[in-house]
Amino acid sequence: MGERINRYGAAGILVSCLGMVLAGTAVTLGVNAAGERRERAARVESERAICEVVEALDTGYREAPPTTPTGKRIAEKVAELRTARCS
């Protein structure tokens, strides 16, 4: 009878350990998912802020086009960036 109790005890310890591993894994996955959601939200906000700057620059360059070759190249690139990323 003593062996049977030891077997059940060992099985109980094994089940407890597996339960703790599964619980720890679930918590870790939940924390990672929350972190990924925060990072995604931060990227979206950053993209939005950059687009606001690009749109303001493009609007300004359209209202008062630059006259120098460098200014014209910058205005062209800003317009391309607005079309490609902020539409």
Closest CA to 47 of 81, 4, 7, 16: 81
Q: Distance of CA 41 to CAs 15, 36, 60, Å?
A: 39, 9, 29
Do 79 and 63 contact (CB within 8 A), yes or no?
A: no
- Structural domain boundaries in the chain: 2-85
In this prediction the pTM is 0.58
pLDDT at 52: 92
Model confidence at 5: pLDDT above 70: no
- pLDDT band at 3, cuts 50/70/90? low
pLDDT for 14-67, tens place per residue?
778 777 877 777 777 777 777 788 888 888 899 999 999 999 999 999 999 999
- pLDDT band at 8, cuts 50/70/90? low
Which two structure tokens, joined as six digits, stand for 72? 């014209």
Alpha carbons within 13 angstroms on the beta-carbon side of residue 42 total 6
pLDDT for 68-77, tens place per residue?
999 999 999 9
